[in-house]
Amino acid sequence: MIDGELYNARNPKLVLERDHTASVLQKYNSSTFHEINMQHKLMKKLLNTSGNFWIKPPFHCDYGYNITIGKEVMLNYGCTLLDVCPIIIEDYVLIGPSTQIYTACHPIDPKQRKDGIEFGKPVTIKKNAWIGGNSVILPGVTIGENSVIGAGSVVTKSIPDNVVAVGNPCKVIKSVYESENSKPTE
């Protein structure tokens, strides 16, 4: 599954792993702001992390162990990460509310779909990227370093470094350095 090969999503081991993750997330998503230490400990049980990060509930994922989150990363309210393959979110990434990141794919062949066969493609979001709220990032996509994805975009193809990209399908519209309130820093 993690290598992107065909697998059966009904495999009992995978069902148990998803059930465990759902149990942890149920506790996480029903916690209050004042339980922030408990929230952080719960996420560290599921995710690969380094440094400080914020994930605002509700948060949803399939397994958690396929998600790597760098330092100073923030996922706003209502994000869903379908992590049958690796999702790598590098340092200083901001992800807006209700964003969805998918690695799961389903075969075109209807018999395979009926039999529960799936496969996946990894997703990478590079350092200092900003993903606007309610965006969808499809399997196999890489978002470049410092790039900005406009709210509501559907990212079907990889986006290079240092650009602003928007729309459905998401397309590059300019360099991040062309914005009137963004100048290159030394």
- Tell me the HSE value of 36 on the side-chain side, using a 13 A CA sphere: 7
- Residue from 20, 40, 60, 106 carrying the catalytic annotation: 106
Q: Give me 171's structure tokens.
A: 């397309």
**40 catalytic per annotation:** no
d(CA 76, CA 54): 8
Alpha-carbon span 5 to 34, nearest angstrom: 42
Kindly report the length of the chain: 186
Cα separations in angstroms, 146 against 6, 14, 31, 98, 171:
33, 35, 33, 21, 16
Question: In sequence order, what are the residues at sequence separation of 6 or more whose Cβ sits closer than 8 angstroms to the Cβ of residue 117?
Answer: 6, 7, 8, 9, 107
Active-site positions read 106
